[in-house]
Structure 1
């Protein structure tokens, strides 16, 4: 994986982070939360109320990846 994300999609507390590894894309999904000390952390676990935003983030990440793959294919020709 590259050191910097290729793209991020955020909806509320949910983030989809897209990574580009030489044209192979992968996605990490996470939920932000605040600790009792007031520090922001993230977790790969989601509550029922998060699931719609998880689905929307995943869909938007997939659309972004599909566009990138198309751009890459055009550039190779």
Structure 2
């Protein structure tokens, strides 16, 4: 069974997925798009119009991780 993400945030077509690896957090960023058959796919290639949502998703992921780390240290 695959591990579930610890946290996910989506803005527009951009998604940040946070993974918890025993207290070490990593983040995957992806952009969704529809292929020629109309099926949803993901890519790690971004256009200029994606950059603001990437920054916002990264900030929200960082805030979530910081809260988790701070809560664990208390």
Give yes or no for TM over 0.5: yes
Match of 1:36 in 2: 36
Query: Distance in 1 between the 2:72 and 2:6 partners?
Result: 14
Moved >6 Å (runs of 4+): none
Query: Distance in 2 between the 1:67 and 1:16 partners?
Result: 16
Shift of residue 71, structure 1, vs aligned partner = 1.0
Match of 1:56 in 2: 56
Q: How does 1:5-44 map to 2 (within 5 A)?
A: 5-44=5-44
Structure 2, unaligned stretches of length 5 or more? none
Structure 1, unaligned stretches of length 5 or more? none
Query: Distance in 2 between the 1:4 and 1:73 partners?
Result: 23
What TM-score, normalized to structure 2? Answer: 0.96
